[in-house]
Amino acid sequence: MNWTTILIDYKNYLKLERGLSDNTISNYEYDIKRFISFLNHNSNPKSPTVIKDEDIQQFIYKISKELSPRSQARIISGLRNFFDYLVFENYRETNPVDQIESPRLGRKLPDTLSIEDIDNIISAIDLNYQFRSVNLGHRNKAIIETLYSCGLRVSELIGLNISDLYFDEGFIKVSGKGNKERFVPIGKTTQNLINIWIDIRKHIDINPADKDILFLNYKGSKLTRAMVFTIIKKLVEKIGLQKTVSPHTFRHSFATHLLENGADLRAIQMMLGHESITTTEIYTHMDKSHLNKIINTFHPRK
């Protein structure tokens, strides 16, 4: 069996059986192809059915010189899942990754913006900005507010449909990882900004395939992840903010600010769409750091 055939079968399995998103599947495929490239580069183009743990170890040794421990752990996990699939389908008897240990990872706390940082970023948006006669300033403001006020992933943001907006009830419907749907509260301020953009959107020549997509580019097509990153990068540079800010930073800030103001961890888990509350619990560590800072700053016997 060759790699091309098995990869096609594996991708179908991930999509149809496990319900993973196209983006997640692409990441799995990329890491496997990286392993294949390593084998080919070393003049050792073995079939996936005869790979041994020595092959995996040599590959991990190589990438350990190039990648962070976190990236190494992700690749090892992806390869383990791939060979588990081969065992499950009776292409192999054993998984060559079973004896491979992932590097130990320290718990990485997400970057967080202060409320002042977020206000400054939003204030920096030029609401008169137009491109090809389309006002994109109001779109950009609605994008930032939606990321922060609803705690969305960037993939969830660009996939948001007009038919997912339930403003009368105060919710939006979000399609998260594995196409799992959840309802997230949305405030009046963000609703108003989205409605302003919808009025502008009516004057765009919209691609029929994207007619229900909320956030569009000037051509009337769905935004890319890269475009959202670019919008944020330019705003951060404009205000001279010395932090690494991505769309996910607004999601982390959403959760952190809720917890700092007394929100229930279970409620935050539901709004973020975390399958396990242990994922959400990282924010409790951030909250403790915040409390320690307050004590050290204000308590008379610090």
Residues serving a catalytic function are: 153, 177, 248, 251, 274, 283
What whole-number distance in Å separates Cα of residue 202 and Cα of residue 214?
11
- Inter-residue contact 96 to 112 (CB < 8 Å): no
- Inter-residue contact 243 to 113 (CB < 8 Å): yes
What is the DSSP code (8-state) at residue 109?
A: P
* Among 274, 299, 295, residue whose Cα is nearest residue 110: 274
DSSP run (H or E) holding 117: helix 115-123
What whole-number distance in Å separates Cα of residue 95 and Cα of residue 21?
25
End-to-end distance of the chain based on CA atoms, in angstroms?
66
